[in-house]
Amino acid sequence: MQAPTLRDVYEARKTIAPYLVRTPLHYSAGLSQLLDAEVYLKHEEYHPLGAFKARGGINLLAHLSQEERERGVITASTGNHGQSIAHACRVFGARALIALPEKDPNPLKVAAMEALGAELVFYGENFDQAKAHCERLAAEEGYRYVHPTDEPLLIAGVGTQTLEVIEDLPEVDVMYLPLGGGSGAAGACVVAKAINPAIQVRAVQAAAAPAGYLSWQQGQLVQAPMNTFAEGIATQSGYELPQQIIRHLLDDFLLVSDDEIRCAVGLLVEKAHTMAEGAGAAATAGAVQQRETLAGKKVAITVSGGNTTAPQLLDALKVYQESQQ
């Protein structure tokens, strides 16, 4: 697999422009005061699908042949990636099959994928079991398998969000992004380090699902237990292409607890009038954890998605309120 380049990201932007609008980068006075920094939120939850993944799906489906689209496209997801592929398949007239874990799927994301016309296949207790089943189905039935992260076109597509951040805030010092499979952080590294190597790119992962962090730390793909509530970053292993990219380009990688993520959900509601799902708030949790390193800096935090359920949101707000007492 060949890692995408900055040129690939610029090409991806041209590809997705007719289908997705540019998302805003908004200054947050509340978070700026809290972190003693100049803080901006990249609002990827503003996409119609409620998550940054929409960018990658459009870029990939646009490059598939008509024959591949007619055969059908299959992938595995906990929700946002699946929505992205389902949406792109609908746009380009392809059959979409999405494999999801049977255990505790996010009902909002399931309903969204069904509404987009995807055929859902529930299998296993977690994402990686669903992914293995998905790969078997692709081999047996001849579907075009889309790996959730090891696709250069996906990474180039989601990398367009970082291109927008740097265009809107050329003097940005630090970027925080969540990491599950790693496509978003990998895309950010490709773009930021090509444009201005001085920009710090920092990835944030749930401590209860640290496979990506451990893979980066050890320089090889690692599997680890996965027990986080934040399904958008709940992966059990590191993945080759994102790790290949971030291994040499990522400046820092930190782990946050599930309660830190829940507090960040509440913080975004109270300080920035923003609703984020667990994965979407992880980057904010990372910035709060590293607040002492941010004084006086210009900081861009990606809110990667807003597809939370009411029970998840209520639980997060309860934890946040308790932390403020």
| Domain co-membership, 230 together with 217 | yes
Chosen domain end from 150, 178, 201: 150
| Domain co-membership, 63 together with 129 | yes
Q: What is the pLDDT of residues 118-152, one digit of tens each?
A: 999 999 988 888 989 999 999 999 999 999 899 99
Active site residues: 53, 304
Q: What is the pLDDT of residue 106?
A: 85
Domain with residue 44: its CATH number is 3.40.50.1100
Q: What is the pLDDT of residues 216-230, one digit of tens each?
A: 999 999 999 999 999
In a domain, 120, yes or no: yes
| Domain co-membership, 184 together with 121 | no
Number of domains the chain is built from = 2
> Which strands make up the sheet holding 252-256, listed edge to edge?
25-27, 38-43, 298-303, 174-178, 200-206, 252-256
Chosen domain end from 150, 183, 211: 150
| Domain co-membership, 39 together with 83 | no
Q: What is the pLDDT of residue 80?
A: 85
Q: What is the pLDDT of residues 172-195, one digit of tens each?
A: 999 999 999 999 999 999 999 999
Residue type, 284: T
Q: What is the pLDDT of residues 52-88, one digit of tens each?
A: 999 999 999 999 999 999 999 999 987 789 999 999 9
Q: Give the span between the Cα atoms of 313 and 275, in whole angstroms.
A: 9
Give the residue among 240, 228, 75 at the shortest CA–CA distance from 155.
Answer: 240
Q: Which domain holds residue 272?
A: 6-52+153-324
Answer whether 292's CB lies under 8 Å from 39's CB. no
Give the residue among 234, 310, 308, 304 at the shortest CA–CA distance from 51.
Answer: 304
